[in-house]
Chain A
Amino acid sequence: AQSVTQLDSHVSVSEGTPVLLRCNYSSSYSPSLFWYVQHPNKGLQLLLKYTSAATLVKGINGFEAEFKKSETSFHLTKPSAHMSDAAEYFCVVSLYGSGNTGKLIFGQGTTLQVKP
């Protein structure tokens, strides 16, 4: 069965320093993986996705993630945090590789705090 585990429930960084949000997945086949972000009172927004193309995926707002099959990881990084990055981040795996009836399996979320 597919699952994701976000290793940190809360991460705090200073503005201008790197961000690392960790995610490990479990899947019996090559998965599709996503990172979503949720700002307060906003919907879930897709940051980036991995769907078996390049293992290093670039997303919006300077975020990127690397798919490492050997480590079953899909960690989210950003070289320099901005105050506006403070939000809840979700690592997500798709139950199917692609398809319209597939469902998303969410991690428990990581709250990113950015200190001035």
Chain B
Amino acid sequence: EPEVTQTPSHQVTQMGQEVILRCVPISNHLYFYWYRQILGQKVEFLVSFYNNEISEKSEIFDDQFSVERPDGSNFTLKIRSTKLEDSAMYFCASSYPGQGVEKLFFGSGTQLSVL
């Protein structure tokens, strides 16, 4: 079965540094999402992306965050200046046209640790 791939599986960074989390969605999917889960808390929606623009974003997704699909295969989440509270598991997801949020395929996540 096709998979959403996320790299790296674990990233450690210093507070204030920029990080880029990478995702390769399933090849024929057109809708892309980022979610995150802070340790001990619920999985939270960050942003959805379609047709090279953000469809919707949560209040968490402030100016420090950005998303991009730089080359037609990768989907990235950039955090410009990381804070301690950005430490979380970040999940990428994608979906097929017409199925949308009802059939998301999730990656295995990137654990981000901000020191």
Contact = CB atoms under 8 A, between A and B. Distances in A.
A104 B101 contact: yes
A43 B48 contact: no
Interface string B8-52: 010000000000000000000001010100000111110010100
Given A43-B3, A43-B91, A106-B43, A101 B104 contact: no
Interface in A88-116: 90, 94, 96, 98-109
A96 B108 CA distance: 25
A43 B92 CA distance: 9
Contact of B109 (A43, A100, A101): A43
A49 B103 CA distance: 9
Contact of A100 (B41, B100, B106): B100
Contacts of A94: 101-102
A49 to B, nearest CB: 6
A49 B106 CA distance: 15
A7 interface: no
Contacts of A32: 101-102
Given A43-B3, A43-B109, A103 B58 contact: yes
A33 to B, nearest CB: 10
Contacts of A102: 56, 100-101
Interface string B67-85: 0000000000000000000
Nearest to B103: A46
Nearest to B57: A103
B101 A98 contact: yes
Interface of B: 3-4, 9, 31, 33, 35, 41-45, 48, 50, 55-56, 58, 91, 93, 95, 97, 100-109
